[in-house]
Structure 1
Amino acid sequence: MLTDRDIARWRLHSQHLAAPVDGAEDVVRSLLAVQAENPSQSAWAVATRTRHPSPADLAGLLASGRVLRTHVLRPTWHYVHADDALWLLELTRDRVLPTVDQQLVPLGDRLTALTDVVLATLAESPDRTRTELADALAGCGHELTGMQLMLLAGRLELHAEICSGVPRDGEHTYALFSDRVGAPQRLDRDEALVELALRYFTSHGPATERDLAYWATLTLTDVRRGLAGAAERLDSFDHDDRTYWHAPGRPAASVSPKGHLLQVLDEMYRGYQDSRWALDADRLLSRGRETTIGMALVDGQVVAGMKRTLTARAVTFEIRKLRRLAPEEEDAIQDAAVRCARYLELAPRLVWQEPGSPGGV
């Protein structure tokens, strides 16, 4: 009989944490979208799923436009492959846009003029930073707050008017979507729902239909329409009064790597809602600090909180244990820290905090 831990271990394989792939493009294409608010942490979320993690891998894809960092699925940034960007936007944005538009109400009827300035600026000179867009708007008599400009840019991303441009000195830039995605893949709504169900349950399974509805901001009705068309290419099982869908077959048990240091916005947590508990993350996340903490996973279970701090020469991992750890569990976390530090080209330093100790992550 399957347990929650079995499901969590299975997901390590589906998401390439226990079965890494060749490169960042394979990761993004397979997972379909990877939440990406924090560029540094989310870049590691992609790299840790590859056989030979390298910052240049994802960076090259973002520079070329093969992978975009743009608003899609939910009102937040994700990495998405250029081939999937348009159909995924068209499928999911109608339920996301009202959240953004409501916050832009104070701009009233200025939205059309603001949009015209942004699009004209990027048509004339692409790969502009947010500061440069703010300057262009101010030059036309439109002073916006930082939040207003961020929301305006998000709205234009959701409408596939703009997307990420070539990063400049590590800073996010914007460009016209039509310039970056020359021949976007188009799917009608029913085709897109089937494609979404097939890709999500393959890359995130085992997962439930409610997990997908949350992840893609869709109704259960839409999810079930897509699942009906994809079901013949998926398998399922019942557990805890829920039906879990996944790619055919079941992965063999993995021996390495056992440990992973991830942001709490990683797809291993954020990719689900209905069945998040499989990670056993309740003790860590009960503090309500989802966006400021990280997770130390061993064998698919959260065993500690994690905070990562970078200096010029070293990366320090503060590991706050949620319970007493066995020596092999500490070794797995140590190995994960070494992998991340090697990727960052920094020396690893671990600071351990025992359960119940004050302070920490």
Structure 2
Amino acid sequence: MQLSDIARLRLHAQQVSKHTCKTPQALVSYMGALQAQDFPASKYAIGARLQHTPLQQVDKAINKGEIIRTWIYRGTLQLVTPADIRWMIALVKDRLEMRLKSTEKVLGVDAAIYPRVFKLLKEALHGGNRLMRSEVEALLQKHNIGPEYMRYSLFRASLEGIICHGPMKGKQFTFTLLDEWCPPQPSYSKEKALELLAERYFTSHGPATVADFTTYAGITQKEANIGLEAAKPRLDHITIADTSWWCGKGLLNTKTSVPDALVLPAFDEINVAYKDRSPMIAKEHGHKVMTVNGIFHPIMLNEGQICGLWKRTIAKDGLEISFEPFISLPKSRKNAFETAVQHYAEFMELPIKTLSFV
């Protein structure tokens, strides 16, 4: 088995080249979590992994609370399901709070104010109320809490399990009380949570290494090894160049081919969920898919390899699409990308107005 096979199998495991999940909620549950600081992109990360699932169906799942957006792994916004949100937050809370305390100390943020903020949020959101970010900021300012506390207050309240993102209000997301939005779920020991996370990650993102897992979850290597050891009976692995790659049972026997052309959104899991991206992209192109401050661009994949970027603009009468390949593409492959991006247009339920290669 070669590194190119790792790329092929990852696309299969991540539901990109073969779709077995039937609903947005089932897909997010299978994946464990989907990175979601770019909210529109995260919605297409779901749509790209499902058949015949337009944007409005993903929005419906979010507005019904079947999918929830909050801060979890690495302190970034993620999409998760109600069944997973509490144990996932509990698993990473202490480490994130430790990191946050260090940042607050440097910036001179007074953590003593948080209990007061939490009380205000509980009172304002009680009874099914939802507030947009601007409304939360106005609430805090009304009680003489400055805007410098806004970002950290929301993050802290989420880690405490007080709030999460609720249904959309127009094009704006809202905040709501977690206990009112999500039914109670069982809690797990740290060891059990690590086991569940390891099984979920390697099944949905494998083949991957322990280093990939620690990077994805923001946990220590010791914690990653604890989870992997417990999950091993339900996983397979292969060794390439003295490195062990772990994945779900049966994946290594999968013969699914890779589509000639694929387009995936910014911050897609196929790009962000690994420390080592070499199976998916040539070394000389690695720096092109993200900015120096960690913003991941939408990507083009040629036979499973990241080969360029693409952009979309929503114009008055449709989509304006442009491709920026890193490599020379024959006419037939350009045609394949033009066909591939039709899936995005169908997801958005908008026609493609213009399409160009830069």
TM over 0.5: yes
Question: 2:274: which partner in 1?
Answer: 272
In 2, Cα distance between equivalents of 1:38 and 1:96: 20
In 1, Cα distance between equivalents of 2:139 and 2:88: 30
Question: 1:262: which partner in 2?
Answer: 264
Question: 2:351: which partner in 1?
Answer: 347
Residues 1:175 and 2:176 aligned together: yes
Question: 2:17: which partner in 1?
Answer: 18
TM superposition shift of 1:292: 5.6
**Residues 281 and 22 (structure 1 numbering): CA distance in 2 closer, same or farther, change over 3 Å?**
farther
- Amino acid in structure 1 at the alignment position of 2:198: A
In 1, Cα distance between equivalents of 2:245 and 2:89: 26
1:1-361 equivalences under 5 Å are 2-20=1-19, 21-105=21-105, 106-108=108-110, 109-123=112-126, 126-145=129-148, 148-249=149-250, 250=252, 252-255=254-257, 257-273=259-275, 275-280=276-281, 282-287=283-288, 288-289=290-291, 290-291=294-295, 293-348=297-352, 349-353=354-358
TM superposition shift of 1:57: 2.1
- Amino acid in structure 2 at the alignment position of 1:226: G
**Residues 111 and 104 (structure 1 numbering): CA distance in 2 closer, same or farther, change over 3 Å?**
farther
TM superposition shift of 1:264: 4.0
- Amino acid in structure 1 at the alignment position of 2:12: H
**Residues 214 and 327 (structure 1 numbering): CA distance in 2 closer, same or farther, change over 3 Å?**
same
Three-state SS of the structure 1 residue aligned to 2:74 is coil
TM superposition shift of 1:152: 1.5
Contact 1:14 1:205 in 2 (8 A): yes
Q: How many corresponding residue pairs?
A: 349
Q: Deviations over 1:270-294 (max 9, x none)?
A: 1111x21111154444255151622
- Amino acid in structure 2 at the alignment position of 1:175: T
TM superposition shift of 1:73: 1.1
Contact 1:84 1:185 in 2 (8 A): no
Choose 251-260 or 277-286, whichever is displaced more. 251-260
- Amino acid in structure 1 at the alignment position of 2:78: H
In 2, Cα distance between equivalents of 1:101 and 1:260: 41
Taking structure 1 as the reference length, the TM-score comes to 0.91
Three-state SS of the structure 1 residue aligned to 2:308 is strand
In 2, Cα distance between equivalents of 1:65 and 1:176: 12
Q: Deviations over 1:154-179 (max 9, x none)?
A: 12112211101111102111011111
Q: Structure 1: 5+ residue runs without aligned partners?
A: 354-361
In 1, Cα distance between equivalents of 2:194 and 2:152: 27
In 2, Cα distance between equivalents of 1:87 and 1:267: 21
TM superposition shift of 1:314: 1.9
Three-state SS of the structure 2 residue aligned to 1:218 is coil
Contact 1:75 1:100 in 2 (8 A): no
Three-state SS of the structure 1 residue aligned to 2:313 is strand
In 1, Cα distance between equivalents of 2:335 and 2:258: 12
In 1, Cα distance between equivalents of 2:109 and 2:121: 15
- Amino acid in structure 2 at the alignment position of 1:138: Q
- Amino acid in structure 2 at the alignment position of 1:241: D
In 2, Cα distance between equivalents of 1:63 and 1:336: 28
TM superposition shift of 1:230: 0.9
Taking structure 2 as the reference length, the TM-score comes to 0.92
Q: Deviations over 1:231-288 (max 9, x none)?
A: 1111111113210001122354335743221234110011111x21111154444255
In 2, Cα distance between equivalents of 1:282 and 1:93: 34
**Residues 153 and 281 (structure 1 numbering): CA distance in 2 closer, same or farther, change over 3 Å?**
farther
- Amino acid in structure 1 at the alignment position of 2:116: A
Contact 2:54 2:346 in 1 (8 A): no
The CA RMSD measured in Å over matched residues stands at: 1.8
In 2, Cα distance between equivalents of 1:124 and 1:320: 49
Q: Deviations over 1:191-217 (max 9, x none)?
A: 111111111110000001111111111
Three-state SS of the structure 1 residue aligned to 2:322 is strand
